[in-house]
């Protein structure tokens, strides 16, 4: 496998060069495009018709669909829980049981809403992550604390237009994305067309060309911009896609009256219910180290040294995990580049249970936008 420091791959190269790796997962097994590394394994017995690696939403969905078709399915999950990036903290650990990922679903999340209905999970409103009151925010730049009211005319404010100067630094980019978005209204597949390949460039370049000062782009996108790690590694094509998708979801809500929501008791209740409905074997705490295609199936080596066999295998894990699994035959060069280089936004959450009204003690707004390690401090 290529090492983790390979130059990041563009979204277009991921799509065109690694179609077999994107979507439900990477499918291995007899009859694949690559020649098997070995002609046969030591035994022809199988632990399952299909072995699925990863018990997130896509892995569980694949397991349930295959089981309905009569296949014997084995699911291997590296952690002690199901759900993957859907992760609700237990209320016994953090009061309120906050979501560490997947806070809610929009009205167009048809399959997820259907899964909740099918497996008996009630839906309610999305739980708010913050009070979202701009009048109760403070901007922390360097070692200086600046109220949102003072920010508009503050010498540290790098923005030029009045509308940009009076909001938090990460707000200005979205107005420009909306103005520049070249996609037809509601077309969430347009980004795949080569007509828009010229926009697969960094938002730093695109936003500075649109008139934002470079220091404003760095402050507003590279610090707490929600996506990517800096303005220089985030594609404008992705941001146009996000805005187009968001508008589509809003339109679905308006026309169907289906606004989406969140699972009652936490969104992890949905994958838990899916796992409970699965009749096959699901093994937690079972990391996979290697996948090897044979002429008659797939051998999967586990971290404990044992091996399981399937006629086929579906790998349903993010590339950040897949890059630590050896694959034989080795994927094509473009696939290796995608696995090794596809970026993921790092996100760390720290939750506090407030014992005292600290905002009354220090006289500052409750929530803070920061350009430092604390990021966003939200009440």
Residues 6+ apart with CB under 8 A from 265: 88, 97, 122
State the pLDDT at residue 107. Answer: 87
For the chain, counts of helices (H) and of strands (E): 13, 16
State the pLDDT at residue 64. Answer: 98
Tokens of 241: 């896609």
Number of C-beta neighbours around residue 282 at 10 A: 20
- Cα dihedral 151, 156, 158, 160, rounded to 10, equals 50
> Do 314 and 63 form a contact (C-beta atoms < 8 A)?
no
* CA nearest neighbour of 331 among 5, 9, 21, 8: 21
Question: Can you list the residues of the chain whose pLDDT is less than 70?
Answer: 1-44, 128-136
Residues 6+ apart with CB under 8 A from 321: 54, 78
Residues 6+ apart with CB under 8 A from 255: none
C-alpha–C-alpha distance, residues 210 and 164, integer Å:
13
Residues 6+ apart with CB under 8 A from 182: 190, 196, 199, 240
Q: Encode pLDDT of 279-326 as tens digits.
A: 999 999 999 999 999 999 999 999 999 999 999 999 999 999 999 999
C-alpha–C-alpha distance, residues 194 and 12, integer Å:
9
Look at the block and give the residue holding tokens 């720290």. Answer: 350
Global pTM reads 0.83
């Amino acid at each position: 496998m290529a090492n983790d420091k390979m130059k990041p791959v563009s979204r277009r190269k991921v799509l065109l060069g690694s179609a077999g790796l994107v979507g439900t997962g990477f499918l291995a097994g007899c009859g694949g495009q690559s020649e098997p590394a070995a002609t046969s394994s030591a035994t022809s017995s199988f632990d399952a018709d299909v072995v699925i690696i990863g018990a997130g939403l896509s892995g569980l969905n694949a397991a349930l669909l295959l089981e309905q078709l009569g296949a014997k399915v084995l699911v291997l999950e590296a952690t002690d829980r199901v759900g993957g990036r859907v992760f609700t903290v237990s209320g016994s650990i953090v009061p309120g049981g906050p979501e560490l990922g997947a806070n809610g679903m929009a009205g167009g999340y048809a399959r997820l809403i259907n899964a909740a209905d099918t497996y008996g999970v009630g839906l309610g409103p999305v739980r708010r992550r913050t009070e979202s009151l701009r009048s109760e925010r403070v901007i922390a730049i360097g070692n200086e604390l600046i109220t949102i009211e003072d920010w508009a005319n503050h010498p540290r404010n790098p923005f030029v237009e009045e509308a940009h100067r009076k909001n938090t630094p990460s707000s200005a980019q979205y107005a420009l994305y909306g103005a520049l978005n070249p996609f037809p209204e509601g077309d969430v597949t347009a980004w795949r067309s080569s007509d828009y390949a010229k926009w697969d460039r960094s938002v730093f370049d695109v936003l500075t060309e649109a008139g934002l000062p470079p220091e404003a782009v760095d402050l507003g996108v590279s610090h707490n911009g929600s996506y990517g790690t800096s303005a220089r590694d985030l594609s404008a094509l992705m941001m146009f896609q996000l805005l187009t998708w968001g508008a589509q979801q809003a339109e679905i809500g308006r026309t169907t009256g289906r606004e989406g929501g969140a699972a009652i008791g936490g969104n992890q209740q949905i994958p838990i219910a899916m796992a409970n409905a699965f009749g096959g074997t699901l093994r937690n705490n079972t990391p996979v180290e290697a996948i090897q295609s044979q002429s008659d199936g797939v051998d999967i080596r586990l971290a404990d040294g044992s091996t399981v066999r399937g006629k086929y295998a579906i790998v349903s894990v993010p590339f950040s995990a897949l890059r630590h699994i050896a694959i034989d035959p080795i994927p094509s060069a473009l696939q290796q580049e995608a696995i090794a280089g596809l970026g993921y936004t790092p996100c760390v959450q720290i939750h506090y249970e407030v014992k005292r009204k600290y905002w009354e003690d220090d006289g500052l707004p409750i929530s803070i936008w920061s350009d430092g390690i604390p990021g966003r401090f939200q009440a």
